[in-house]
Every structure is written in C-alpha cells, then in structure tokens.
Structure 1
C-alpha cells in the first residue's frame, strides 16, 4: 500500500504526459481552430498543481524528470523542456509564496506559466533558426488558442485535481506524524 501511495504522483504525471501526447489524435482540434496550432500543456498544469498544493521541491524534481522525458520523446533538442519545467515550477512556487492560494489566482498563475513556456520555446527555437514565425502570428495562431485550450482543461479539472492532490498531501502528512 505504501508503494502505491509513493507512485501516485509519478503515475499522475505520466498519465498527463500520455494524454498530452495523444490529445491531437483523440480530439480533432482542426474542427474548432482552423489555421492555428494548439498545444496541450496538461503536464505543466499538473506540475503546477503539485508545486502549489503538494510540495514545491517535488514539483521542481518532477519538472526536471518529465522535462527530460518530454525532450527525449517530443523534441530533437535535449535541454529545452528539461530547463523550462523545473524553472517554471520554481517560479510558480515563488509567486504562490507572495499571492493567496485560491483557485482564481492559481488559474491565472498556471496560464501565465503556460504562456511563459510557450514564449520560452518560441524564443529559443527562433534564436537557433528552427522556427520562422513572426511574433504577431505566434501570438494569434499559437499562443491564444493554446491558452484557450489549456484554460478549458483547467476549468474542467482544477477542482478534482486540487482535491486529489490535497488529499494525497494530507495522507502523506498523516503518515509522517505517525512515524514521529
């Protein structure tokens, strides 16, 4: 039973990773957004929730691990996401130290981290010459539809995800109290 509790967070992140990878084949986004590029960032959403509601250090570590996995599976350049995910998890943690932890603020912090991730990847790929897209086209055809899609996902799953991660956090704290 103890092993299962320790494996829940990595399995949740792995599920988000696989769902993110399969999303474009499951949901025909071309029906809704023509001439746009929509990027699901469900892994980033779950990572932010783990950082905010569970443990910031584990959020950074899981960001490092799943950033490496994301780079290996989805990109030709190892290092883009392995750097972005833990840094964004850390920045989310720092922002939530200052701000109140309520779902309205968490919603906007998560969307801001997704926007930062998109701009970081766009800037990096533009810098090395892999992307040739103007900033205006990137904003209208990539960033806005991506934020809309991830905002819808966040609206649908923020309450159950928060409740689940808080319940897991409480169970881990209760276990630590019993040990000491």
Structure 2
C-alpha cells in the first residue's frame, strides 16, 4: 500500500493543477498576463531532494509524458524537460546546503528554465507569438509569482510529509 501513496499524491497534484488552471483566471495578477501553475514540477523537485532522487526523476519522466499527452500537441516537450530539470536541480543540491529556502529558490530557477525551454522550443516551431520581452513580462514573471505563492504556502508541509514518508519507508 505504501508504494502507491506517492504516485497517487502526484496524480492528485496533477489533477489539482488542472483544476486550478480551469477555475482561477490566467490573468490572475494583471490583465493581459498569463500565470501558469507549475505545482507538479515543484513537488517533483521536492520528492527528488527530500525523498528519493531516483524515484523523483522516474516520476518526472512519467508525469512529463502525461503532461504532454493531456496538454500539448507535441509529445516530448515536458517528457524531456521535467526529468532533465529535476536532475539538474538535484545535482545542484549536492553542492548547496539542503534547506527549504535554497530548494524553493532552485524550484523557481527550474521553473524559469522550464518556461524558457518551452518558449524556445515553440519559437523554433513558429508557434510562439510573443517577443522575448513580452514573454518575460506577460508570462514568466506572473508564473514565477504564482509559483512563489504556492511554495510559501506548501513547501514546509510538503517537506514534512516527504520526510515522514521517507521515515516510514526506511522502517520497512
């Protein structure tokens, strides 16, 4: 039963992120802006750092594929972005001190890299209709603000939950 808790938790976050996008307007902070929630990415980074790096990267691959299947027309954008960025953040944590503040900053840096990666990929395909300056002001900054609010509200409980789950798993 314990091995199903984390995948179900991630599936719940995936669904709640979808509901959040449906219920809350994308121009949450200002008109003509788009605030994209990347709560699932943040949770995947926390799992990789506080629970198990292998499982975190594995779940990043699975949920990146699921994200592509549900939300994008192209399979592979998030399928590669999630595990690679989670892996990079995990390796950065080998050098840096592991605390919630540093992890949260790395989540926001990873979110920035994810947004620029998707923007660059869509620009190469001719599907990005914003200039880089407009993208930064209208999409990236509101997205970072939204995800910062998520981290402020949920990073401590998420860390405690993952450490508790790790302790339960190590007892067996």
- TM-score over 0.5 (shorter chain): yes
Which runs of 5 or more structure 1 residues have no equivalent in the other structure? 176-180
User: Any residues of structure 2 matched to 1:6-155 within 5 Å, and which?
Assistant: 6-30=3-27, 32-155=29-152
In structure 2, C-alpha distance between the alignment counterparts of 1:33 and 1:150, rounded to whole Å: 16
Aligned residues: 172
Equivalent position SS for 1:32: coil
Report the CA distance shift for 1:127/1:25 in structure 2 as closer, same or farther (over 3 A).
same
In structure 1, C-alpha distance between the alignment counterparts of 2:32 and 2:99, rounded to whole Å: 35
Which runs of 5 or more structure 2 residues have no equivalent in the other structure? none
In structure 2, C-alpha distance between the alignment counterparts of 1:67 and 1:115, rounded to whole Å: 16
Q: Deviations over 1:107-129 (max 9, x none)?
A: 10010011010000000000111
In structure 1, C-alpha distance between the alignment counterparts of 2:164 and 2:139, rounded to whole Å: 35
RMSD in angstroms over aligned alpha carbons? 1.0
Equivalent position SS for 1:109: helix
Q: CA deviation at 1:25?
A: 2.4
Divergent runs of 4+, >6 A: none
Q: Deviations over 1:121-166 (max 9, x none)?
A: 0000001111121110010000000000000001000010000001
Report the CA distance shift for 1:77/1:136 in structure 2 as closer, same or farther (over 3 A).
same
In structure 1, C-alpha distance between the alignment counterparts of 2:130 and 2:27, rounded to whole Å: 20
Q: CA deviation at 1:31?
A: 5.0
Q: CA deviation at 1:29?
A: 4.4
Report the CA distance shift for 1:38/1:20 in structure 2 as closer, same or farther (over 3 A).
same
User: Any residues of structure 2 matched to 1:141-180 within 5 Å, and which?
Assistant: 141-175=138-172
Q: Deviations over 1:9-35 (max 9, x none)?
A: 111111111111111222234353211
Q: Which has the larger radius of gyration?
A: 1
